[in-house]
Amino acid sequence: MVASTVIANRVEYGAQVSSWTQSEYDDIDMSFTKLYRKISSSYPTALIYQPCNLGGLGYYKVSDGIEKAKFFMVQRHLRTYSSAAKTMDTLLYNV
């Protein structure tokens, strides 16, 4: 599906360096939820994003992808043992 492969990845790529609030992530997810509901009739939101092996449709949740990308970025920088690691350490523990 184009929405979960192309559009969601473009949104995720730009958003991984942003400082959006949870409500802004929810707005993004709501846009994709509306699209997924048009495609797959009237499933509840929990079933739209629940994995297929658990009885859901298994659609991609953009906010989860953004959070995962941010987490991996922080972890990569923490393991470099350079000035980037020191900066990440300061951001995480001195805020």
45-85 pLDDT per residue, tens: 888 889 999 988 888 889 999 999 888 988 888 888 888 88
Does the model's pTM come out above 0.85?
Answer: no
Band of residue 11 on the pLDDT scale cut at 50, 70, 90: confident
**Whose CA is closest to 36, among 54, 53, 61?**
61
73 contacts: CB under 8 Å, gap ≥ 6: 16
Number of domains in the chain: 1
How high is the mean pLDDT of the chain? 85
> Strand, coil or helix: what is 56?
coil
Band of residue 4 on the pLDDT scale cut at 50, 70, 90: low
- CB neighbourhood size of 57 (10 A): 14
Domain region containing 25: 2-93
